[in-house]
Amino acid sequence: MRDDRERLRDILEAIERIEKYALLGRAKFDADELIQTWILHHIQVIGEACRGLSEEFRSVHPEFPWNRIIGMRNVLVHRYFGIDRDLVWVVVESNLPALKDQVREFLRDQT
């Protein structure tokens, strides 16, 4: 079983994979189904990693928006044809950089 630190590293890895294609911009995201699929998949990975964190860890660290992240994963997994690309792009541009910083800071403080 993966521990909380491993799951946090999974989150960082997924964010970095998203960033690789998000750098191409919103127009490329809108135009390329493979990039959309890549980004959506890795957002799901982030949600799954958060869902797998121990309940204790999540409750001790309320500064992370766990429920929102897991909720986004659930929407992406269960609403195949109802995914709002505008919302996904907001997550990519606004939410993921902050999450990346928070996770990095936490991991750095724990070493």
Q: Which domain holds residue 80?
A: 4-109
Give catalytic residue positions. Answer: 73, 78
Per-residue pLDDT of the chain (111 residues), as tens digits, is 789 999 999 999 999 999 999 999 999 999 999 999 999 999 999 999 999 999 999 999 999 999 999 999 998 988 767 789 999 999 999 999 999 999 999 999 886
For residue 80, what pLDDT is reported? 67
Tally the residues of the chain: 111
Structural domain tally of the chain?
1
Helices (H), the chain: 4-22, 26-31, 33-52, 55-60, 66-78, 85-90, 96-109
For residue 84, give the 3-state DSSP assignment.
coil
What tokens does 64 get? 């992370």
The answer to whether residues 27 and 85 touch, using CB atoms and an 8 Å cutoff, is no
